[in-house]
Chain A
Amino acid sequence: MNAQSMQSMVAGFDNEAFGSQAVFRVALQALSHPGQILTMPMDAQLPQSGHGAAALLLLGLLDADTTLWMSESLAQSDAAAWLRFHTGCLCVSDPHEAQFLWLAQGQDQSQTQGHGQGQDPNWPALAQLRHGSDAYPDQSATCVIEVQSLQAGASGWVLQGPGIATQQTLQVQGLAADFLAQWADNHGRFPQGVDVFLTTPTQVVGLPRTTRILNSQEA
Chain B
Amino acid sequence: MLQSFDKPATAPANPRAEWMALLARAPLPLLEQGLADHTQSTPQWLRRPETGLMMVQGRVGGAGEKFNLGEMTVTRCALRLAAANTSDPALKDTPVGVAYVMGRNHRHAQLAAVADALLQTPAEWPVLEQRLLAPLRAHVQAGQTRRHAQAQTTKVDFLTVAREASGGDEEESS
User: What residues of chain A have their CB less than 8 Å away from a CB belonging to chain B?
Assistant: 6-12, 16, 85-86
Contact = CB atoms under 8 A, between A and B. Distances in A.
Give the top 8 A-B pairs by smallest Cβ distance, nearest first.
Answer: A11-B46, A6-B96, A9-B46, A7-B96, A9-B96, A11-B45, A8-B92, A7-B95
A19 to B, nearest CB: 13
A6 B98 contact: yes
Interface of B: 44-48, 78, 92, 95-96, 98
Contacts of B47: 11-12, 85-86
Contacts of B96: 6-7, 9
A164 B98 CA distance: 48
12 contacts: A6-B96, A7-B95, A7-B96, A9-B46, A9-B96, A10-B46, A11-B45, A11-B46, A12-B46, A12-B47, A85-B46, A85-B47
Nearest to B16: A3
Contacts of A16: 48
A10 B46 CA distance: 6
A16 B44 CA distance: 15
A46 to B, nearest CB: 13
A71 B95 CA distance: 29
A11 to B, nearest CB: 5
Given A6-B98, A7-B96, A11-B46, 15 more contacts: A6-B96, A7-B92, A7-B95, A8-B92, A9-B46, A9-B78, A9-B96, A11-B44, A11-B47, A12-B47, A16-B48, A85-B46, A85-B47, A85-B78, A86-B47
Residue with the greatest number of chain A CB neighbours at <10 A, chosen from B45, B47, B95, B98: B47
B164 to A, nearest CB: 57
Nearest to A9: B46
B1 to A, nearest CB: 15
